[in-house]
């Protein structure tokens, strides 16, 4: 059976090497990879390099201080060091987007596989569901979901996860539709492989490349959407330092214009995270899926 | 190829440059006030007010939000008014009022007032208005079209025909005399019925407009200094001076009320000169206002309380010593200084300072003392602290303009004595409702802005019968009785004694720990004069002029 | 063609039905009710109960849903609980604001994005190309509300060039009548140059904030589509024949490259109409998004239901139009 695995059929040389070569040619991919890895390492090292207890860190005497040598990014409305907050905000953002995309990827891919493989009424229903989710204004959907489950980081992950689902359904379904008639799948079926085996051993592995690309790009949008919910006040509860919530605190408590550093730096960090994911996604697309450029 | 392209390239650049020029050009030309201090002729007459949102409607008695009351004060008059900058009543549509027993109240009305549509204002008109609010069967109440009149039962017990209804009858004795008969004596009745919610609208206009009265695109007709000219949803309301106003005529021909939700945006507009005066600014904006020479800041005298409530049905908080410890752990001085600066005072009593004669004179709150607090906790058996859920409001209110950081500050103080705080919030639509559903929140932030200048408005709602469900199983018959008694008495000394007794019990019990009486910050451009902000939250604009 | 349109329109019915179901379900899953949202500190449980009854909120949910559906069929979206204004009237007032902003944002995106994309493609790998592509990547990575705040800070507060928020200033606005609700159109119809300038000035910052993401997408897509077309045989032939380079780009390459760009413009436009909540919030723009958002907070059920259904239908119809527009640009596509 292994001889029928799609990767072997697709290309004679080692696919990993081909991918690596392609990826190395992509400047944006390299920058994105370095940036993403850098951010991840920074996020992981935060507790070591800059220990911080959000529950007790505050210093009212140093409220809203402009950036200085002592506070490189200035301080926030509670007199906390903004650099530390933004640093920890990075951890939260990465975590939220990873889990949200995980939810979207898992549910979306499963539904897409089922719809594309079994077709029929199931496909119609899932297609209907996808159309609805796509036509429903996604920000409003996220707001509604987050409001139902209350303001917490968990409901943000869930809300953002839900609005990622239709993209993955669409993508997987179209992949499956083109794959299921392909020779290796037909052969597997002729050898008596069950649906589950065909889906998970043959079809899914061949769809991985575009899924990985899409997931990376979705990490970027998920970061933006999660921060957006935070900005609307639907996200993390204090003392969790969340980037969108920091922006919202500054804007709503009326010091965004007099202390602009309280909006500049958290926003920059969001942009940097999203940029890293987008660059990496671009690079991966060049490497894994060269035809689907842009 | 390159040379050919450069020309094309140049064209493109030229197009861009033109576009940018056009955009910036038209921009600089259209906002003259931001670049040059002398506004155009048209704008000298118009006063531009930046309000924090669109009013719910322009229908008296059917609103509770402050945004609406600002506009009601311009279009409508009330039975009585409050002296500029105070909570002291003064005659308005009623020239005098009296009651022999506190149960039957008679108001003498002005006889020279006409509504803006030309129909006369008289006792029948007052009766008409009151019946709309009070009587569910009033044909012009349009309750089937979704009218709620929520504030009526809030201030006067219940609607007509219900057991809790304070009002029993409203009678037009003659054209200028109106009589209210109450179920029990209520000393504060005149200022309650004279409060901002209850403007007098033209019966004729209401009958004509039907259920669409007071909504965008429909008329709203009162006797006030301004008439409604135009209402554009979520954008603005335009008011025009009422030339026949019976009182002091409006100094500005026109008032444009623009709706701008966020305080940052409102201040930005004020600094740009695109609005002339605005309200509900955040305390942290004071520095920004002071730094701008073209702006002037003002405060409303404090008439609110922001408190931190403890629910006795949560086991640790059932013990008085634990509640005391919490009250002692909170460094109110520091919190008020950090988040309000000069725009608030630390609350000594539950009632604002202007009514402190109605509070317990011997007790002004537990002083900050974390060591003593720790000892109290230990003696109550909580030397290792306990977990506590702290609920903070999701919205800015006048008493807690920035609830979240204040909650974080309170939590920091509590964690210093070993209490482990978890933050909780819900959106505003459920926050209060759920606080009153048993078992309620373990601890929460909330507050109150006075509707009129009487301690009853502060105390009864929070410590009276039915007002304490959010405190868990705390109930004190003695307090209930004192409150009921004080309601019926009209002698101020006697009332002060009763309220003082009642306040001693609740204040020392550390149930609703008063944190702050804030002085809401407002600001105007320097060319505006004659604005005296009222402690009650809004005022008429007829005295304001622009030079 | 007509048959195709009819078929597509018919296919929309179940989607729209699903949307009504989804919005209704979510709305009633959200705890809390309009009364508490309105009355705040002064509400009491008994009072809430009375008012719920009065507003028909105590009826069984399926029945409420049925009423909502029947209303929709009669084009009656109900009446706002908070303001008592019929929802359809409010939509009529607000969608011109949303539409105007979306069009302005899209114009900004297209007018800057397409030329930038073409330039980048024609000068592939030059510094210009690099700047454009890095710029567009940063563009799609920025939170809209953050960009909006920065723009306000820079252009309205610090430099004082542009108004910070709102749709129309005051000093010139008095004699101005909103006829269509599209202020630009109204100002032109009334020949009011002052108002026109003021309206445009108010549009600049929100349009830039909202248009940046579509701008970045359009620029990237134009570039890659152009690159693909420029490498095709017929372009090479045209060049070889000595056709002017400008002409090659405009006539041959651009025309063919536009198809995917138009698709994305359509899709982005739909997204703009519905996704402008944050931009509208920052700029106090009286559009649909911020309206529905505050209606969610106020539990104003009829507004949320009507608003979301309206936006979704618009979105779906725009997508349909995009599909149909293929026919105009690509005669090879047949509709059956």
Q: Domain containing A254: what range?
A: 15-44+77-177+207-288
What count of other Cβ atoms lies within 10 Å of the Cβ of residue B163? 7
The residue-averaged pLDDT of C36-53 equals: 73
Q: Which of B449, B346, B463 is nearest to B396 (CA)?
A: B449
Phi/psi for B300 (5° steps) reads -85, 140
Q: Residue B210: exposed, middle, or buried by beta-carbon count in 10 A (0-12, 13-18, 19+)? A: exposed
Task: State the pLDDT confidence band at A227, using cuts at 50, 70 and 90.
Answer: very high
Q: Would you call B26 an interface residue with chain C, using a CB distance cutoff of 8 Å?
A: yes
Assess if residue A270 is contained within a domain.
yes
**Of A135, A138, A231, which has the smallest distance from its Cβ to C278's Cβ?**
A231
**If you measure CA to CA, which chain A residue comes closest to B394?**
A233
Q: Is residue A70 part of a domain?
A: no
* C201 to A268, C151, C168, C183: CA distances (angstroms): 27, 13, 9, 12
* Structure confidence at residue C225 as a pLDDT band (50, 70, 90): confident
What are C291-319's pLDDT values in tens digits?
Answer: 888 888 888 888 998 998 898 888 888 88
Give contacts of A 148-207 with B, CB under 8 A: 150-151
Asked if C177 has any chain A CB less than 8 Å from its own CB, the reply is no
Nearest to A257 among B268, B412, B423 (CB): B268
B227 close to B240: Cβ distance less than 8 angstroms: yes
Q: Which of A181-185, B32-36, C108-112 has the lowest mean pLDDT?
A: B32-36
Predicted local distance difference test score (pLDDT) of residue A206 = 82
One digit per residue, the tens of pLDDT, for chain B of length 547 reads 334 434 444 444 444 444 444 444 443 333 333 333 333 333 346 899 999 988 989 999 998 888 999 999 999 999 999 999 999 999 999 999 999 999 999 999 999 999 999 999 999 999 999 999 999 999 999 887 778 888 898 889 889 998 889 999 999 999 999 999 999 999 899 999 999 999 999 999 999 999 889 988 899 999 999 999 999 888 899 999 999 999 999 999 999 999 998 888 899 999 988 899 999 999 999 989 999 999 999 999 999 999 999 999 999 999 999 999 999 999 999 999 999 988 999 999 999 999 999 999 999 999 999 999 999 999 999 999 999 999 999 888 889 998 999 999 999 999 999 999 999 888 787 888 888 888 899 999 999 999 999 999 999 989 988 788 899 889 899 999 999 899 888 888 999 999 999 999 999 999 999 999 999 999 999 999 999 999 998 999 999 999 8
- What ipTM did this prediction achieve? 0.86
Q: Is residue A202 part of a domain?
A: no
A53 at B interface, C-beta within 8 A: no
Asked whether residue A191 is domain-assigned, the answer is no
Q: Is B242 left (phi over 0), alpha (psi -120 to 50) or beta?
A: beta
- Which residues, at least 6 apart from A106, have a Cβ–Cβ distance to it below 8 Å? none
Q: Can you give the pLDDT at residue B43?
A: 39
Average pLDDT (A115-139) is 89
Report helix, strand or coil for B98: strand
Q: What are chain C's partners, defined as 3 or more CB pairs within 8 angstroms?
A: A, B
For residue A1, pLDDT beyond 60? no
Query: With contacts defined as CB-CB under 8 Å, which chain C residues touch A129?
Result: 18
| Structure confidence at residue B41 (pLDDT) | 36
B39 touches chain C (CB under 8 A): yes
Mean pLDDT, chain C, rounded, equals 84
Any residues with CB less than 8 A from the CB of B291 and at least 6 apart, and which? Answer: A258
- For residues A32 and A198, give the distance between their C-alpha atoms in angstroms, rounded to a whole number: 34
CB B433 within 8 A of CB C45: yes
The neighbours of chain A, by the rule of 3 or more Cβ pairs under 8 Å, are: B, C
Residue A294 lies in a domain: no
pLDDT of the residue at A55 = 67
Name B78's Cβ contacts closer than 8 Å, sequence gap at least 6: B92, B93, B194, B195, B196, B198, B199, B200
- The string of pLDDT tens digits covering residues B200-228 is 999 999 999 998 899 888 999 999 999 99
Quote the pLDDT of residue C110.
Answer: 92
Q: List the single residue in B263, B291, B404 with the smallest CB-CB distance to A238.
A: B404
pLDDT value at residue A290: 54
pLDDT tens sequence across B140-189:
998 877 788 888 988 898 899 988 899 999 999 999 999 999 999 998 99
pLDDT score, position C316: 85
Radius of gyration in angstroms for the set of CA atoms belonging to chain A, rounded to a whole number = 22
CATH number at residue A224: 1.10.3720.10
Distance CA C242, CA C237 (A): 9
CB B197 within 8 A of CB B513: no
As for how many domains chain A has, the answer is 1
Residue A58 domain-assigned (yes or no): no
Please give the structure tokens belonging to residue A34: 């370095």
> B200 with B79: CB under 8 angstroms?
yes
Q: For the stretch B420-449, what's the b/e string if a residue is b when 16 or more beta carbons lie within 10 angstroms of its beta carbon? A: ebebbbbbbbbbbbbbbeeebbbbbbbbbb
Quote the tokens at residue C8. Answer: 């597509």
- Of C285, C141, C128, C315, nearest to C213 (Cα)? C141
Q: Which is nearest to B358 in space by CA: B188, B496, B489, B186?
A: B496
- With 60 as the cut, is the pLDDT of residue C146 above it? yes
- How high is the pLDDT of residue A54? 72
What does residue C175 show for φ and ψ, rounded to 5 degrees? -80, 0
According to the model, what pLDDT value does residue C276 have? Answer: 85
Chain B's closest residue to A143, CA to CA, is B427
Give the rounded percent of residues in chain C with a pLDDT score beyond 70.
Answer: 93
Rounded to a whole number of angstroms, the distance from the CA of B329 to the nearest CA of chain A is 15
Give A136-192 as a 3 state SS string. Answer: CCHHHHHHHHHHHHCCCHHHHHHHHHHHHHHHHHHHHHHHHHHHCCCHHHHHHHHCC
In a domain, residue A69? The reply is: no
Number of helices followed by number of strands (H, E) in chain A: 12, 0
How far away is chain A from the Cα of C192, in angstroms, using its nearest Cα? 33
d(CA C144, CA C150): 10
d(CA A233, CA A244): 8
Q: Which two tokens stand for residue C83?
A: 């303001």
Cβ separation B423–A77 shorter than 8 A: no
In a domain, A224, yes or no: yes
The chain B residue lying nearest A239, using CA atoms, is: B408
What pLDDT is recorded for position A289? 66
Cross-sheet strand order for the sheet of B167-174:
B94-98, B104-109, B177-182, B167-174
Task: Kindly report, residue by residue over B520-546, the tens digit of the pLDDT.
Answer: 999 999 999 999 999 998 999 999 999
Owner of token pair 């065909």: A198
Say which residue, A291 or B407, is predicted with more confidence: B407
Across the interface, do C44 and B9 touch by the CB < 8 Å criterion? no
Window C:241-300, CB contacts with A under 8 Å: 274-275, 277-278, 281-282, 289, 292-293, 296
User: pLDDT tens digits for A6-48?
Assistant: 444 444 456 778 778 878 887 888 899 999 999 999 999 988 8
Residue C319 confidence (pLDDT): 82
Question: Longest C-alpha distance within chain A, in Å?
Answer: 76
């Amino acid at each position: 059976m292994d001889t029928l695995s799609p990767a072997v059929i697709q290309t004679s040389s080692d696919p990993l090497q081909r991918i690596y070569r392609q990826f190395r040619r992509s400047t944006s991919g390299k920058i994105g990879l370095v940036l993403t890895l850098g951010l991840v390492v920074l996020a992981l090292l935060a507790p070591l390099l800059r220990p911080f207890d959000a529950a007790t860190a505050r210093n009212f005497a140093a409220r809203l201080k402009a950036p200085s040598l002592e506070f490189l990014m200035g301080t926030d409305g509670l007199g906390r060091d903004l650099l530390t907050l933004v640093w920890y905000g990075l951890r939260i953002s990465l975590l939220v987007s990873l889990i949200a995309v995980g939810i979207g990827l898992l549910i979306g891919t499963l539904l897409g596989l089922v719809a594309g493989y079994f077709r029929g009424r199931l496909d119609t229903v899932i297609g209907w569901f996808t159309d609805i989710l796509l036509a429903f204004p996604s920000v409003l959907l996220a707001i509604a979901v987050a409001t139902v489950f209350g303001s917490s980081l968990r409901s943000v992950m869930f809300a953002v996860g839900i609005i990622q689902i239709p993209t993955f359904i669409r993508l997987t379904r179209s992949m499956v539709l083109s794959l299921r008639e392909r020779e290796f799948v037909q052969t597997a079926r002729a050898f008596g492989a069950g649906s589950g085996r065909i889906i998970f051993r043959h079809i899914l592995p061949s769809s991985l490349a575009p899924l990985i690309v899409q997931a990376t790009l979705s990490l970027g949008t998920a970061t933006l959407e999660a921060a957006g919910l935070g900005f609307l006040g639907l996200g993390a509860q204090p003392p969790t330092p969340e980037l969108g919530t920091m922006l919202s605190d500054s804007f709503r408590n009326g010091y965004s214009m007099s202390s602009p550093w309280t909006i500049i730096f958290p926003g920059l960090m969001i942009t940097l995270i999203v940029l890293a994911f987008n660059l990496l996604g671009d690079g991966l697309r060049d490497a894994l899926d060269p035809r689907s450029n842009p | 190829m390159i040379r050919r392209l450069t020309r094309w390239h140049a064209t493109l650049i030229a197009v861009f440059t033109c576009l940018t020029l056009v955009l910036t050009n038209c921009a600089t030309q259209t906002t003259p006030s931001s670049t040059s201090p002398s506004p155009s002729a048209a704008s000298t007459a118009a006063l531009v007010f930046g309000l924090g949102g669109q009013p719910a409607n322009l229908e008296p008695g059917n609103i509770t939000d402050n945004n609406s009351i600002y506009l009601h004060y311009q279009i409508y008059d009330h039975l009585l008014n409050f002296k500029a900058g105070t909570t002291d009543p003064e005659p308005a549509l009623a020239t005098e009022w009296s009651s022999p027993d506190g149960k039957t109240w008679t108001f003498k009305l002005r006889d020279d007032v006409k509504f803006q549509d030309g129909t006369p204002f008289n006792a029948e008109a007052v009766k008409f208005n009151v019946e709309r609010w009070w009587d569910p069967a009033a044909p012009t109440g349009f309750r089937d079209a979704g009218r709620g009149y929520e504030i009526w039962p809030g201030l006067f017990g219940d609607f007509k025909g219900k057991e809790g209804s304070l009002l029993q009858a409203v009678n037009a004795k003659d054209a200028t005399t109106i009589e209210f008969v109450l179920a029990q004596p209520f000393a504060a009745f005149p200022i309650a019925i004279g409060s901002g919610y209850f403007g007098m609208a033209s019966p004729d206009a209401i009958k004509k407009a039907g259920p669409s009265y007071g909504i965008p695109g429909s008329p709203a007709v009162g006797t006030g200094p301004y008439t409604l000219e135009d209402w554009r949803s979520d954008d603005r309301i335009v008011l025009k001076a009422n030339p026949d106003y019976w009182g002091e005529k409006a100094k500005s021909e026109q008032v444009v009320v623009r709706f701008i939700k966020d305080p940052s945006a409102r201040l930005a507009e004020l600094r740009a000169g695109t609005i002339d005066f605005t309200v509900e600014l955040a305390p942290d904006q004071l520095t920004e206002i002071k730094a701008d020479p073209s702006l002037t800041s003002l405060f409303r005298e404090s008439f609110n309380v922001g408190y931190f409530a403890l629910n006795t049905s949560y086991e640790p908080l059932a013990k008085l010593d634990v509640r005391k410890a919490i009250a002692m752990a909170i460094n109110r001085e520091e919190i008020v200084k950090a988040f309000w600066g000069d725009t608030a005072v630390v609350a000594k009593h539950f009632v604002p300072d202007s009514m402190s004669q109605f509070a317990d004179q011997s007790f002004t709150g537990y002083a900050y003392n974390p060591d003593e607090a720790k000892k109290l906790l230990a003696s109550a058996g909580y030397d290792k602290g306990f977990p506590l859920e702290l609920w903070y409001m999701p919205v800015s209110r006048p008493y807690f303009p920035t609830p979240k950081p204040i909650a974080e500050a309170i939590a920091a103080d509590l964690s210093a004595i070993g209490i482990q705080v978890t933050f909780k919030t819900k959106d505003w639509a459920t926050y209060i409702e759920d606080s009153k559903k048993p078992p309620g929140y373990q601890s929460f932030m909330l507050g109150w802005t006075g509707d009129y200048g009487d301690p009853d408005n502060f105390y009864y709602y929070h410590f009276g019968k039915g007002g304490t469900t959010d405190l868990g199983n705390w109930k004190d018959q003695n307090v209930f009785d004192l409150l009921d008694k004080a309601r019926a008495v009209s002698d101020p000394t006697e009332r002060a004694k009763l309220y003082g007794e009642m306040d001693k019990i609740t204040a020392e019990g550390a149930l609703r720990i008063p944190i702050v009486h804030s002085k809401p910050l407002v600001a105007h451009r320097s060319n505006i004069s004659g604005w005296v902000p009222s402690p009650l939250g809004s005022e008429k604009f007829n005295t304001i002029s622009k030079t | 063609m007509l048959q195709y349109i009819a078929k597509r329109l018919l296919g929309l019915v179940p989607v729209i039905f699903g949307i009504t179901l989804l919005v209704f379900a979510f709305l009633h899953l959200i705890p809390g009710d309009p009364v508490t949202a309105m009355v705040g500190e002064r509400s009491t449980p008994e009072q809430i109960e009375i008012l719920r009854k009065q507003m028909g909120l105590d009826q069984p949910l399926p029945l409420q849903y049925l009423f909502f559906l029947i209303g929709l069929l009669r084009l009656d979206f109900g009446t706002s609980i908070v303001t008592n204004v019929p929802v359809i009237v409010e939509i009529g007032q607000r969608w011109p604001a949303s539409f105007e902003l979306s069009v302005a944002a899209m114009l900004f995106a297209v007018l800057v994005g397409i030329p930038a994309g073409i330039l980048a493609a024609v000068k592939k790998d030059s510094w210009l190309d690099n700047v454009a592509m890095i710029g567009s990547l940063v563009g799609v990575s920025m939170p809209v509300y953050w960009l909006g705040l920065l723009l306000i800070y820079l252009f309205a507060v610090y430099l004082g060039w542009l108004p910070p928020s709102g749709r129309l200033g005051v000093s010139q606005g008095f004699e101005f009548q909103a006829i269509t609700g599209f202020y630009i159109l109204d100002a032109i119809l009334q020949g009011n140059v002052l108002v026109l300038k003021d309206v445009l000035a108010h549009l600049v910052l929100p349009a830039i904030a909202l248009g940046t993401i579509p701008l970045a997408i359009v620029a990237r897509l134009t570039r890659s589509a152009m690159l693909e077309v420029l490498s095709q045989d017929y372009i090479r032939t045209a060049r070889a024949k000595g056709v002017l380079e400008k002409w090659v780009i405009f006539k041959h390459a651009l025309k063919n490259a536009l198809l995917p760009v138009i698709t994305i413009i359509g899709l982005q436009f739909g997204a703009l109409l519905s996704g402008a909540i944050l931009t509208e919030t920052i700029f106090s723009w009286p559009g649909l998004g911020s309206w529905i958002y505050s209606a969610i907070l106020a539990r104003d059920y009829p507004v949320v239901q009507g608003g979301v259904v309206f936006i979704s239908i618009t979105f779906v119809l725009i997508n349909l139009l995009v599909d149909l527009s293929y026919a105009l640009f690509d005669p090879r596509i047949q509709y059956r």
